[in-house]
Structure 1
Amino acid sequence: MSSESEHAARGRIGGVIVAWVGSVVIGLLIALLTPVGQRAAWLTVGVAGCLVLSFAVQLWSGRAEGFISRVALSMLGSFIVLGLFGLSFGLAALA
């Protein structure tokens, strides 16, 4: 029984980590492909993309229990990751 609960917990966290990795990819794409003056606007679009990705991954997993908590944790991590990208963009603009 313990192996089933460990597998279930890993599956729940896996969806959250997928959203975080997606936010890193979005942040890198923004850094590489957008002009310096438009990065802040694209970060808001990136956050919206992370929200859609979080919902899609959690809906695809098919688990109703803890859905809101997993989406909230996914978005918290995405906000932090993209916030760090925004901080780095701001510091780079000062230099």
Structure 2
Amino acid sequence: MTSPLIAPRHTLIGVFVVWGIAAALAVLVGALAEPDWRAAWMGVGMGLIVPIAFAVHLWSGRSQGFIQRMALSMIGSLFVMGLIGVGLGLATLFSG
């Protein structure tokens, strides 16, 4: 028998937090890395997202849907960082 949650937390907030951190990391890589090394540093940034997502979703204290939230965080972060990476690549291509 399961007990109902007294004050359930909204579960998608953690997913959006992870996406925001991924966007911030991608912008940081774009600002600090040399254009030839941006793709490599994007991979490092995506690697940093994994433990950050674990921490965010474990902090929420809900075990229901953990795998789905982690998958959504990872796929969304990959998509966000990929879009920003494409933008940075096009900016590099047309700037010089």
Bucket of the pairwise TM-score, normalised by the shorter protein: 0.7 to 0.9
Question: For residue 35 of structure 1, what is the aligned residue in structure 2?
Answer: 34
Structure 2 distance, partners of 1:29, 1:62, is 30
1:37 counterpart letter in structure 2: D
Output the CA distance in 2 between the equivalents of 1:94 and 1:25: 22
Q: Output the amino acid matched with 1:20.
A: W
Q: Which runs of 5+ in 2 are unaligned?
A: none
Higher helix share: 1
Aligned residues: 90
**SS of residue paired to 1:11:** coil
| Runs of at least 4 residues off by over 4 Å | none
Distance in 2 (CA, whole Å) between partners of 1:42 and 1:16 is 22
Mapped pair 1:79 → 2:78: yes
Amino acid in the other structure paired with 2:14: G
Which of structures 1 and 2 has the bigger CA Rg?
2
RMSD, aligned α-carbons: 1.8
Q: Which residue of 2 aligns with 1:58?
A: 57
- Cα distance in structure 2, aligned partners of 1:66 and 1:44: 27
Aligned to 1:94: 93
Structure 1: segments with no counterpart, 5+ residues = none
Q: TM-score normalised to the size of structure 1?
A: 0.86
Counterpart of 2:37, as a letter, is Q
The equivalent residue for 1:70 is 69
Percent of aligned pairs with the same amino acid: 44
Whole-Å Cα distance in 1 between the matches of residues 30 and 22 of structure 2? 12
